[in-house]
Amino acid sequence: MRARRALLYMPGNDWRKIEKAAGLNVDCVCLDLEDAVAPERKDEARAMVVRALSELDFGRSERLVRINAPESGLAEADLDAVLAAKPDGIVVPKVGSPEGLAALNIPAGMTLIAQIESALGLVNGKEIAAVVGLEALIFGAEDYAADLGAVRSIEADEVFVARSIVVAHAAAYGLQAIDMLWVDFKDAAGLTRLAQQGARLGYSGMQIIHPDQIEPVQRSFTPSKDEVAAARRVVEAYEASLQAGKGAFALDGKMVDMPVVKAAQRVLARTQAE
């Protein structure tokens, strides 16, 4: 599964921004037909997204399209318009049930990503994560907090439990988990703090809304050279221990067992997904 450390949203009806995003070398560019587009401009946005997918070279960036929510009455029209242009994947927002996700006419084999953004989506998260063909879950903190009537804060304490549950559902079903937005794109320190916290929670990446957020987020979700070297030593020592018929083993004066080995293997897997 490819690395999705930074997922950059671009309004589907803003050609200048889309054209710029195509050359940014970000992991994922998500052309947005939902929140970033006013209701009266949906048709214009669909046509522009199709044009972008057909004409622009996005380099190594994954080309995603976020359609409107299944219950909006707009999702099928979005799909009818954009699928012919062959995006790399579809992001489905405000998923509240597995039925709403499975009912969409998305071709088998196309990348499918679901956004958990409500209390209903969270409590049905286990069933949503089990939908065949799903590759990742995205946690949408702003809509989730609004659904609960929670007050958003810089510390994000009010969504911490939900963030943890979403990443757990993703891990249980072998999916990637993509973390919440940091909406103040001028606050690099706050962004880095949140990204590093998300990485510690087990998220593989984060949503972003501005090019200036790409580097801090990619850095936060990329294992350092020291982390990779340490993980490789653990895995190599584990393999040698297996050859010797041993279980737990000592490395650098510390006992190493399977949880430590699995953590090291995950670090190496993230590196190989680059």
Q: Is residue 55 part of a domain?
A: yes
Where does a domain end: 201, 220, 239? Answer: 220
Which amino acid is residue 13, in one-letter code? N
Question: Mean pLDDT, to the nearest integer, of 252-260?
Answer: 78
Two structure tokens written together for 258 = 């399977």
| CATH number, position 46 | 3.20.20.60
pLDDT of res. 241: 78
Residue 236 and residue 192 share a domain: no
CB 178 within 8 A of CB 7: yes
Rounded Cα–Cα distance for residues 198 and 111 (Å): 23
pLDDT in tens, 104-128: 989 988 999 999 999 999 999 999 9
pLDDT in tens, 229-254: 777 887 777 777 777 777 677 788 77
Rounded Cα–Cα distance for residues 17 and 8 (Å): 11
Considering only residues 269 and 222, tell me which one the structure prediction assigns the higher pLDDT: 222
pLDDT at 266 over 90: no
pLDDT in tens, 127-169: 999 999 999 999 999 999 999 999 999 999 999 999 999 999 9
**Mean pLDDT over the full length of the chain:** 92
pLDDT of res. 274: 58
Residue 172 and residue 88 share a domain: yes
Residue 254 and residue 131 share a domain: no
Known catalytic residue at 157: no
pLDDT in tens, 166-218: 999 999 999 999 999 999 999 999 999 999 999 999 999 999 999 999 999 99
Which amino acid is residue 264, in one-letter code? A
pLDDT of res. 234: 77
pLDDT confidence band for 263 (50 / 70 / 90): confident
pLDDT of res. 221: 95
Q: Is residue 50 part of a domain?
A: yes
pLDDT at 273 over 60: no
Two structure tokens written together for 175 = 């999916």
Residue 236 and residue 208 share a domain: no
Q: How many domains does the chain have?
A: 2
Active-site position among 43, 80, 212, 257: 257
Its domain, for residue 82, covers 6-220
Question: Mean pLDDT, to the nearest integer, of 68-74?
Answer: 96
Residue 104 and residue 194 share a domain: yes
Q: Directed axis angle between helix 141-148 and helix 160-172, to 10°?
A: 120
Q: Is residue 1 part of a domain?
A: no
pLDDT of res. 40: 97
